[in-house]
Chains A and B, each alone.
Chain A
Amino acid sequence: MKLRLLTLTTLAVAGIAGSAFAADTVKLGYQLPLTGDTAQYGQDFRKAAEIALTEFNAAGKPFKVEIVFEDSRSDAKEGTNIARKFVDDKEIVGVLGDFTSGVSMAAAQVYKEAGMPQLSQTASHPDYTKISKYQFRNIATQAQEGPYNAKWMASKGLKTVAVIAEQTDWGQSVVSGFSDAVKADGGKVVFSEFFNRGLKDYRSLISKLERAKPDAIYTGFFYEDGAQFLKQLHQLGVKTPVYSTSAAYSPKLIELAGEAAEGMHLTSNFLPTDPSPNVQHFVEEWKKRSDGAVPGQFPAQAYDAVRIMLAAVEKAQPNPTREKVRDALAQTKDFPGVTGKTSFSADREAEKELVKVEVKGGAFVPVKD
């Protein structure tokens, strides 16, 4: 009996010592595609996260943070497996990612059950944050961007619009978010179609689209598909103006499409040319790690997402738990990030300010209208 009590006490002491040690390093999980078709995004997120983490750990805080990166390959099944792994690791108090809305939403089901706060830098499907009170995002949704762009186009007198988007959860939210707003503004969607991500040849689609004679084309794509689309539009001599979402905002788009990108309109919430020290610091750090390349909007969102999460972890000190981190995240107000000030609304949406941008002379230039 005595022996048993002693063992118990020893175990309890060891347990306390263990948790005291754990308080010195807080663990976060980051699920993202590091291989496969969308690896380029995941690699960028990891780079952005490492910049944020190095800065945080070098700042002389009483505790250190460690981020566990897991490769989801943008595969929902893989994403769910990682989510289970993160949930089972009792030391992990918060999770970042995933990249696509589809995978983020699949993993969110696991986080919802386990009560793990999840902050995605890019999942913009409207249903994502509706899953539970544990889902946050650091990106403008299409429910926000669609009407914004519809108003912009209406103000330019573009009445009939053709809409194309990639065949994904996100692409569908682009089309629905935009089309409803166009109708409300008195415009008309004359053509609407989805294509498969990674399509090489858009010429058939472009010829078909042009038969509907739209005033403008609204597009839901990322820079790879966007560059091919713009180039082939240019090849076929189509002059219809193109509008797009902030997802296409990447220096790579201009690099790949060249002069075919001229005159394209899109929205953004990050401008690497912004002179504020915050932004310039991030751009400099990024350039150092990427052979002088300028970051696009997604890495900037990831950088902010990681810093928002780190701030929440800090607020949840001492002995942060998943619940405490979630509450701290929910209280985020006017976080000064590189993508503008971020606050989470009551339904855990990031309220972002959007900027209108046009491609002029081989660069993204902010425009008034």
Chain B
Amino acid sequence: MFDPYYLQQLAIGLSLGMTYALMAIGFTLIFGVLNVVNFAHGEIYTLGAFAGLVLISATAPPIVAVILGALAIGALAGFSLERLAFKPFRRFTDEASLKSRAMRESTLLSSLAVSIVVREALEIVFGSQMRSIPFEYLINTPVRVGPVILVTGDFIIFGVAAAMLIGLQYLLTRTRVGLAIRAVSNNPLGAKYVGIDTDRTIITTFVVGSMMGAAAGILMGLYYGAVFPAMGFTPGIKAFVAMVMGGLSSIPGAVICALILGISESMATTFVSSGWSDMVAYGFLILTLIFFPNGLFGARRERV
């Protein structure tokens, strides 16, 4: 008889992986697919969670309105982030600058700077304490499925992640906007020459990706019941690992790798001390980089 203990661990791993995937989807859209180095996604996630928290404590609206509010803040944050940290580096439109990798990669620092400013600002405004979300909003009522216990949030997160994944795949492969995004990521200069409005494409991608980041943030806030300024850091790292493992440009790849990460972490807890389970993520990252430099699901492409 199969030990229900392992089934429970598997379920926990899947639900953990799903939370990583939720973050990884928006992250991969901007960082991987659009090919723009962006380290401020974790703060978008935090902003989404705080937007939800503020809405809840101010007006106590229904949960759908909370999520819509977070999405609006996410869109605004994505737009402003692009304006602040990315647009200034596209000021020069000559061929040399457009081709310059240094120009492209300098957003590593500018986005990191924005992320630090946002985090510290949140700390000044809200304090660094963990803030609780009223219990009636939380999505962690236990649900028993056979020998396994999950919570309602696991199903909601699964639904949202699946919807995001399918929606994005549709957008990227079947629509003109998706075509434009892929064109800009592949060759910004070429895209410009054939008449694609690169600025607009980039802004659109940032807005869509950041809305997903903000949605992930508020969902995680409702799932774990705690919101605090530093909350975006760990999920950001996990999403980064999932994205690199998945081959950077592949959103389904990132999702699958996020699930693999979650399951391996929870399974690893059985055999090694929980203190070491974080090592699994970094171990996978190193192994992937050594043996599959293009990721497990990535296409061959020159990379940052």
Contacts and interface: CB of A to CB of B under 8 A. Distances in A.
Interface of A: 35-37, 39-40, 43, 167, 193-196, 198-201, 203-205, 207-208, 211, 223-224, 227-228, 231, 235-237, 252, 255-256, 258-259
B145 to A, nearest CB: 13
Q: Which A-B residue pairs are the 6 nearest by beta carbons? A: A39-B128, A204-B269, A204-B266, A40-B129, A167-B275, A40-B128
B127 A43 contact: yes
Interface stretch (B9-17, B27-35, B244-252): B9-17
Interface string B266-290: 1001100111011000000000000
Contacts of B129: 40, 252
Given A204-B12, A258-B135, A194 B274 contact: yes
Contacts of B135: 258-259
A193 B274 contact: yes
Contacts of B230: 36-37
A301 to B, nearest CB: 17
A200 B5 contact: no
Given A193-B273, A195-B275, 6 more contacts: A39-B123, A40-B130, A43-B127, A199-B274, A200-B234, A205-B269
B132 to A, nearest CB: 5
Contacts of A205: 269, 274
Contacts of B226: 224, 227-228, 256
Nearest to B141: A235
Contacts of A194: 273-275
B128 A236 contact: no
B224 A224 contact: no
A235 B273 contact: no
Contacts of B225: 227, 231, 256
A237 B149 contact: yes
Interface string B16-60: 100000000000000000000000000000000000000000000
Interface string B127-140: 11110100100001
B8 interface: yes
Given A40-B128, A40-B130, A208 B151 contact: no
Chain B interface size range: 20 to 34
A348 to B, nearest CB: 31
Interface string B115-129: 000001001000111
Contacts of A252: 129-130, 132
Contact of B270 (A201, A204, A228, A255): A204
B132 A235 contact: no
Give the most central of A35, A211, A228, A255: most B CB within 10 Å. A35
A236 B142 CA distance: 7
B265 interface: yes
A224 B130 contact: yes
Give the most central of A36, A43, A201, A252: most B CB within 10 Å. A201
A161 B297 CA distance: 46
A262 to B, nearest CB: 13
A198 B278 CA distance: 11
Contacts of A193: 273-275
B74 to A, nearest CB: 21
A319 B3 CA distance: 72
19 contacts: A35-B128, A36-B230, A39-B128, A40-B129, A40-B130, A43-B128, A167-B275, A193-B273, A194-B274, A194-B275, A203-B266, A204-B9, A204-B274, A204-B277, A205-B269, A207-B9, A208-B9, A227-B225, A256-B132
Given A205-B269, A207-B9, A227 B275 contact: no
B123 to A, nearest CB: 6
Given A228-B226, A235-B142, A204 B265 contact: yes
Contacts of A237: 142, 149
A258 B225 CA distance: 10
Contacts of B140: 231, 235
